[in-house]
């Protein structure tokens, strides 16, 4: 493979030709609809690679130029010209600099099986490599994606084994068009920011952006120590290289790729590695990830990580808008989209590993709806959604507690079953998004007087209270079990307590006060 910029190595869907391999220079082709890859983490990495290329070497100077390119995608020749000065830096194999690989590994570097590059190798979540294979290996395309995926998501791996710029298993949030026939260009360009919004300085040398062009900033006893943002260029967030590794061509063979199944191809079987890679510390912020911020501004921002149970509506407010007080702060690309006044309906693609230290538990992909509101409407949206989410959170907690009370004689000593709360969140998700859409419609149509907004929201408050109560009670009956079990005294008492909590807990009382504004017969509804 000559260069990852010019080679046809990324899988894509073409509206007329089906699946085919493309080079990064071709992403403006209107026939291309999406990317595909043999693994979901590879697909995510390919998206981030292409977005990183565009942001680094083809960024628009302003919002006006961003919109011009949005409306007129670049030709392959235009992108080839933009990438040409840097294409040699993206060689997968080279005697000198090689893509995301250590420039000069020492002689004591360990030789490892190439499948160990995969983050889930050896984990229960592994989909491909739990079965023994006669000749395991990765084709050139999958090897490139494996290296990229590891460097983007690198989890902790023991002493001196460094995590990614965003920590281990970061959550990535990308904007995607809601239309199924949106072009690949639209999917990528939505996540590229104008240079004047990022305000990044011109790099003094490209090694500050692409770290494999220079000797690695090692963090072992002989190294330079930590690498805060001040020691590199901000664009290195897209190209972080925390792991010291290099593909080992000396043991390459011919065979079938263990991931994509390509037959009779050149296979990498090993890579070499050493501890003490670049240790990213300090206030790094990747534009494609949301961050938790310290209210006291004493600690650096922490990228939100993939979470057990995946991403759902309980996370919507922080990921789509950013919670009040900056906890968490939405990704920069998400915060910027509201300024563009796009009429195109969008969704938020949330993706990432749920990691237990170095063990991958699961890869999660979620699509959340997005709604554009004016800046002056955002406070009202946040205020009411916080109320709705507080009701949902209290309902899920009450459900979990009372299911445990019905099941066990000593519920305080029993372990909590996470599936109970998760079933509530999943069961009410469609209802939440329906209420969210109606809430946005109210805000758009109403005047900005708070009383008018509250009157419009009151019926939605009633709708949400009844939906969450009904769902919690139905799920209690499901988790407790048979009709006979429901008639036992502990179950009867637990269900009675659950109903009381669903009616009278503080968040519910507060939202019922709002519901009364629409003259809802509250007492009747609570029977």
Residue 101 DSSP label: B
DSSP conformation letters of 310-330: ---GGGHIIIII--TTSSSBP
- From the centroid of its chain, how far is CA 167? 13
- Do 252 and 400 belong to one domain? no
In a domain, residue 45? The reply is yes
Question: Does one domain contain both 418 and 274?
Answer: no
CA gyration radius for the chain? 26
Does any domain span residue 131? yes
Please report whether residue 450 resides in a domain.
yes
Structure tokens at 78: 């235009």
| Cβ(232)–Cβ(208) below 8 Å | yes
43 inside domain: yes
DSSP alpha helix (H) spans, 332-428? 332-337, 375-407, 418-427
Q: Residue 484: what are its φ and ψ, rounded to 5°? A: -65, -40
Q: Do residues 151 and 163 lie in contact, with contact meaning Cβ atoms separated by under 8 Å?
A: no
User: Residue 132: what pLDDT?
Assistant: 46
Q: Which domain holds residue 387?
A: 373-527
What pLDDT score was predicted for residue 459?
94
* CATH code: domain of residue 444: 1.10.132
pLDDT of res. 154: 93
Asked which of 280, 295, 321 is the last residue of a domain, the reply is: 280
70 located within any domain: yes
* pLDDT tens for the chain, residues 1 to 527: 689 999 999 999 999 888 999 999 999 999 999 999 999 999 999 999 999 999 999 999 999 999 999 999 999 999 999 999 999 999 999 989 999 999 989 888 999 999 999 998 855 555 444 444 557 999 999 999 999 999 999 998 778 899 999 999 999 999 999 998 999 999 999 999 999 999 899 998 999 999 999 999 999 877 788 999 999 999 999 999 999 999 999 999 999 999 999 999 999 999 999 999 999 999 999 999 999 988 888 899 999 998 787 888 999 988 988 766 556 889 999 988 877 766 678 999 999 999 888 888 899 999 999 987 777 788 888 889 999 999 999 999 999 999 999 988 888 888 888 899 999 999 999 999 999 999 999 988 866 566 678 888 999 999 999 999 999 999 999 999 876 666 788 889 999 999 999 999 999 999 999 998 876 444 444 43
In a domain, residue 353? The reply is no
Residue 330 lies in a domain: no
Considering the domain architecture, whether residues 181 and 46 belong to the same structural domain is answered as yes
* Domain boundary residue, one of 223, 247, 280: 280
- Measured CA to CA, the distance from residue 274 to residue 272 in angstroms comes to 7
Strand-pair partners of 253: 267
Number of domains the chain contains: 2
CB of 48 closer than 8 Å to CB of 57: no
Cα(403)–Cα(397) distance, integer angstroms: 10
How many residues comprise the chain? 527
Does residue 173 lie within any of the structural domains?
A: yes
SS3 280: strand
Residue 327 has what pLDDT?
Answer: 66
Q: Residues 254, 386: one domain? A: no
- C-alpha span between 138 and 154 (Å, rounded): 19
83/214 same-domain check: yes
The CA–CA distances, whole Å, from 48 to 56, 130, 137, 240, 413 equal 12, 28, 24, 12, 45
Is the Cβ–Cβ distance between 106 and 274 less than 8 Å?
yes
Quickly count: other Cβ atoms within 10 Å of residue 168's Cβ.
Answer: 23
Residues forming a β-bridge with 12: 20, 35
- CA 158, 164, 165, 169 dihedral sign is negative
Give the residue from 280, 304, 330 where a domain finishes: 280
């Amino acid at each position: 493979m000559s260069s990852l910029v010019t080679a046809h190595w990324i899988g894509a869907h073409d509206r007329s030709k089906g699946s085919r391999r493309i080079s990064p220079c071709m992403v403006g082709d209107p026939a291309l609809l999406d990317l595909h890859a043999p693994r979901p983490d590879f697909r995510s990495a390919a998206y981030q690679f292409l977005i990183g290329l565009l942001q680094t070497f083809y960024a628009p100077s302003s919002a006006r130029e961003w919109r011009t390119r949005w409306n007129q995608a670049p030709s392959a020749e235009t992108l080839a010209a933009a990438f040409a000065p840097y294409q040699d830096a993206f060689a997968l194999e080279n005697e000198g600099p090689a893509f995301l690989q250590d420039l000069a590994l020492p002689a004591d570097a360990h030789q490892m099986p190439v499948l160990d590059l995969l983050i889930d190798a050896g984990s229960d979540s592994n989909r491909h490599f739990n079965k023994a294979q006669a000749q395991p290996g990765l084709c050139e395309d999958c090897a490139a994606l494996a290296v990229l995926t590891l460097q983007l998501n690198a989890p902790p791996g023991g002493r001196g084994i460094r995590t990614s710029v965003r920590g281990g298993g970061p959550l990535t949030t990308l904007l995607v068009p809601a239309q199924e026939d949106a072009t690949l260009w639209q999917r990528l360009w939505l996540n590229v920011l104008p240079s004047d919004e990022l305000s990044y300085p011109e790099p003094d040398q490209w090694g500050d952006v692409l770290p494999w062009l220079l000797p690695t900033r090692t963090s072992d006893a002989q190294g330079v120590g930590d690498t805060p943002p001040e020691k590199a260029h901000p664009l290195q967030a897209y190209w972080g290289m925390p792991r010291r590794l290099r593909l080992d061509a000396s043991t390459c063979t011919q065979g079938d790729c263990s991931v994509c199944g390509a037959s009779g191809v050149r296979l990498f079987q090993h890579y070499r590695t050493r501890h003490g890679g670049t240790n990213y510390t300090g206030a790094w912020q990747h534009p494609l990830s949301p961050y938790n911020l310290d209210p006291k501004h004493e600690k650096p921002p922490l990228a939100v990580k993939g979470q057990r149970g995946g991403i759902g509506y309980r996370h919507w407010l922080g990921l789509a808008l950013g919670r009040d007080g900056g906890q968490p702060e939405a990704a920069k690309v998400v915060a910027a989209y509201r300024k563009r006044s796009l009429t195109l309906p969008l969704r938020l693609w949330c993706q990432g590993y749920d990691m237990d230290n170095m063990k991958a538990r699961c890869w999660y992909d979620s699509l959340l709806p997005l709604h554009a509101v004016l800046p002056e409407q955002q406070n009202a949206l946040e205020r009411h959604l916080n109320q709705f989410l507080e009701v949902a959170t209290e309902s899920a907690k009450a459900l979990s507690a009372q299911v445990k009370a019905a099941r066990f004689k000593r519920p305080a000593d029993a372990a909590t079953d996470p599936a109970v709360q998760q079933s509530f969140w999943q069961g009410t998700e469609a209802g939440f998004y329906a209420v969210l859409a109606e809430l946005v419609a109210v805000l758009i149509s109403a005047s900005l007087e708070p009383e008018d907004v509250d009157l419009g929201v009151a019926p939605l408050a009633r709708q949400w209270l009844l939906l969450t109560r009904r769902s919690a009670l139905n799920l209690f009956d499901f988790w407790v079990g048979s009709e006979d079990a429901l008639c036992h005294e502990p179950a009867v008492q637990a269900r009675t307590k659950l109903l009381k909590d669903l009616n009278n807990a503080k968040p519910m009382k507060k939202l019922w006060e709002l519901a009364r504004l629409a003259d809802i017969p509250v007492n009747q509804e609570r029977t």
